[in-house]
Amino acid sequence: MGEDKNKKKKEGALHVNKGVEQPASINEDALRKFRKRRKPRYTLEQYVDGILNGERTMLGQAITLIESSRGEHMEMAQQIIERCLPYAGDSLRIGITGVPGVGKSTFIEALGTKITASGHKLAVLAVDPTSERTGGSILGDKTRMEKLAADPRTFIRPSPSGDSLGGVARKTRETVVLCEAAGFDTVFIETVGVGQSETSVHSMVDFFLLLMLAGAGDELQGIKRGIMEMADAIAITKADGANRDKAEMAQKEYQKALHLFPPPESGWTTRVLTCSALRDEGIEKVWETIHEYIRFVRHNGYFTQNRRQQAKYWMYETINQILKDHFYHTDFIKELLPKFEKQVLEGQKSSFMAARQLLDRYHKK
């Protein structure tokens, strides 16, 4: 997926007219060399000290290294994470998902301002692998999160961009570590409930909140059953004005529907709530429910068990990711791929054979 995107970028940027001599690519090369040489801006000590002091700018700079694809940056990012790990883990990680327009940003603003007003430090991150929205998904709707964006107790960071879902999710997972080391005791991870990203987010949070609309025609609004199964609570949004009754009806329906699902591993009974972020109604209740859940799973041991399982999951995810990245970024593989692809497309080689041969060449390199 990521590879296709890169390819498109290269081919689609400029149209080359036949017969017109193209300028030498000296500038490109010079630029590339300059970029390659650019070292991380600060020393490891400076990054780590800044983060542990809770400096938001330093935190932001370090996250930029996590998101970078330059070797030196990645190396430095890993060292920073390593040094921050002993100070991480001490936050409440909450995943928030829902279809576009369900009211995620408005909800985060309403709940977030309450959380920071009670003295907590909140980090708001996003996992959003669809490039069109990237960069804009969180910061773009600053108007919906006006108070939070200006709140010194909040750190808001849009989704890392230009990568596959696996890459985006892993980077966000690493960003959580730095946020926690910087003293953020509550972390929200927002994702749009339309694809695979919920599963990734679910595997990095302690509590998973699904926001849903009432009476939007289709009963389950294209929200897959699997996503409802993952939710520790469902909140029906926009329960105000004429929508209020509909929201309460939906609440009953979903509560009933949930009975048909297998009981979750945590032993918790999924709650269905209603809220209005605009009117600030029911928001407090959602927060109380989250705490009730945390007390419950801390008591029965699921909290720790779940975090350990997640750590294991991310170990394998990271291995897969690194192996895959390394393979696709190896120069001779990049050269061979189009040739093999062509042979497969033309039926000269089976896909299995092509894959096998490429991997053999890769291992022998």
Binding-site ranges for Mg ion (CB under 5 A): 104-105, 141
Q: Which of residues 332-361 bind ligand GTP (CB under 6 A)?
A: none
Measured from the CB atom, is 59 or 230 closer to ligand GTP? 230
Measured from the CB atom, is 116 or 191 closer to Mg ion? 191
Query: Out of Mg ion, ligand GTP, none, which partner does residue 282 contact, by CB within 5 to 8 A per kind?
Result: none
- Tell the smallest beta-carbon distance from residue 267 to ligand GTP (Å): 30
d(CA 170, CA 320): 11
Stretch that binds ligand GTP, among 27-35, 100-108, 202-210, 306-314 (CB under 6 A): 100-108
- Tell the smallest beta-carbon distance from residue 206 to ligand GTP (Å): 22
Strand order in the sheet with 233-236: 154-156, 122-127, 186-192, 92-98, 207-212, 233-236, 271-274
Binding residue for ligand GTP (CB under 6 A) from 76, 277, 283, 354?
277
d(CA 108, CA 123): 11
d(CA 248, CA 256): 13
- Tell the smallest beta-carbon distance from residue 141 to Mg ion (Å): 5
Measured from the CB atom, is 133 or 334 closer to ligand GTP? 133
d(CA 195, CA 198): 7
Extended beta strands in 62-185, E state: 92-98, 122-127, 154-156
Bridge partners for 276 per DSSP:
281
Measured from the CB atom, is 278 or 333 closer to Mg ion? 278
How far the first Cα of the chain sits from its last, in Å, is 25
112 binds ligand GTP (CB under 6 A): no
Query: Out of Mg ion, ligand GTP, none, which partner does residue 98 contact, by CB within 5 to 8 A per kind?
Result: ligand GTP
Closest-approach residue to Mg ion (CB): 105
Backbone dihedral region for residue 267 (phi beyond 0: left; psi -120 to 50: alpha; all else: beta): left
Measured from the CB atom, is 278 or 333 closer to ligand GTP? 278
Instruction: Give me the residue label for tokens 């490109």.
Output: 28
Binding residue for ligand GTP (CB under 6 A) from 229, 240, 248, 325?
240
DSSP 305-327: HHHHHHHHHHHHHHHHHHHHHHH
102 binds ligand GTP (CB under 6 A): yes
77 binds ligand GTP (CB under 6 A): no
- Which of the 8 DSSP states describes residue 164? -
Binding residue for ligand GTP (CB under 6 A) from 56, 104, 153, 349?
104
Binding residue for ligand GTP (CB under 6 A) from 49, 55, 141, 325?
141
Instruction: Give me the residue label for tokens 């920071």.
Output: 116
Determine the distance from the C-alpha atom of residue 323 to the mean position of all C-alpha atoms in its chain, rounded to a whole number: 21
100 binds ligand GTP (CB under 6 A): yes
Interacting residues with ligand GTP (CB under 6 A): 98, 100-106, 141, 144, 192, 237-238, 240, 276-278
